[in-house]
Amino acid sequence: MIEVYPRLFIGDESDYERTVSHQGGWWTVHACKEPYHRQLLGYKTRGAPKNHPEYFFARRTARLFLNLVEAPDPNYIPKVIVDEALCFIDEGLQQGERVLIHCNQGESRSPSIGLLYLVARTATLPKGSLSEAETPFRKLYPLYNPSSGMRGFLIQYWNDYVHPSAGV
């Protein structure tokens, strides 16, 4: 678990299970369908029921459960999920809480959301392009190794997050 911004941490499933789940004062983004979203909603099928009101994400107090898989194609990563994660992170930090973003291995989904948060909501990283932001981000979080789907998502929506007034 690495602090990449004051009170904002990125890590993996074991960071949540071994540390954060046993302490108070943490907000958590579970950036992985398995096992958290599945356990919360209790579905036994391959995927969550598409008509479920919490199909994309579910919030329980200081925990956000994302239906986010490690997809090789960015078209299988719903923007609404990432949007909700960024708002949730903002809310937790504004309330003075520590926030952990984690996925299973801490290499792709959680650091990609963390990178996007830093670019979109802080002045921590350069905003020119994803490549320009990745270099200093790797110094903050050396485990960053995005899948083709997550990196493709960042490329596809870069301007929407970095320059939202540009409209789309």
| Residue 49 confidence (pLDDT) | 86
How many domains in the chain?
A: 1
Which residues are bridge partners to 63 per DSSP? Answer: 28, 60
State how far the alpha carbon of 22 is from the alpha carbons of 19, 26, 31, 35, in Å: 6, 10, 19, 18
Report the C-alpha gap between 147 and 160 in whole angstroms. Answer: 20
Helices marked H in 26-147 = 38-41, 79-94, 109-121, 130-140
3-state DSSP helix/strand/coil % of the chain, to nearest 5: 45, 15, 35
Residues 48-92: tens digit of each pLDDT: 888 999 999 999 999 999 999 999 999 999 999 999 999 999 999
Q: Which residue range(s) make up the domain with 97?
A: 2-166
pTM of the predicted protein model = 0.95
∠ CA 58-140-16, nearest 5°, is: 35
Q: Tell whether the model's pLDDT for residue 167 goes beyond 60.
A: no
CA 57, 60, 61, 65: dihedral to nearest 10 degrees?
A: -40
- Asked if the model's pLDDT at residue 164 lies above 80, the reply is no
Percent share of the chain, pLDDT over 90: 88
CATH number of the structural domain spanning residue 122: 3.90.190.10
